Amino acid sequence: MLKVDIIEHGTVVDHIQAGMGKKVLDILGIDEKSGNRVALVMNVPSQKMGKKDILKVEGVLISAEKTDAIALISPRASVNLIKDGKVVEKKQAELPESLHGVGKCPNPNCISMQEKAAGKFHLEGQKYRCEYCERVFKPAELL
């Protein structure tokens, strides 16, 4: 088992779908310029998922909105907020009932694309329907 430094203050995102760890970093807006200490561990064996990615970010407690956005690409992810070396909050990523301003409609003919309007979607089962063009998309297609 690969050891990663314990985080004193920050966020651990566990059970990320394998290969999606970098996309989670994108959602959080973290890159080499942001200066945070980051550990991304990829392809960790997982009983539940076969393989998973784990992300640890020092110094950032991520918001509920970001947790929802992570759910779009990795519905089984769990988010642990850590303060003073202790987990103070554990959240399961969940697909939000509706999305406003998160995600873009992948339909090039959709009026939301032509008018550069903020996306509006609502959840139907495990997919999202665009409120402009009425088409249905998988969550990952919206990012």
Residue whose entry in the numeric block shows the structure tokens 């959840």: 123
**Binding status of residue 133 toward Zn ion by CB under 5 A:** yes
Q: Do 53 and 18 form a contact (C-beta atoms < 8 A)?
A: yes
CB of 111 to Zn ion, least distance (A): 7
142 binds Zn ion (CB under 5 A): no
User: Please, what sign has the CA dihedral across residues 89, 30, 71, 132?
Assistant: positive
Minimum Å distance from CB 105 to Zn ion?
3
For residue 50, give every residue at least 6 positions away whose Cβ sits within 8 Å of its Cβ, in sequence order, or none. Answer: 18
Q: Which of residues 103-132 bind Zn ion (CB under 5 A)?
A: 105, 107, 110, 130, 132
Q: Tokens 């329907």 — which residue?
A: 129
- Which segment (5-13, 17-25, 37-45, 102-110) binds Zn ion by CB under 5 A? 102-110
Binding site for Zn ion (CB under 5 A): 105, 107, 110, 130, 132-133
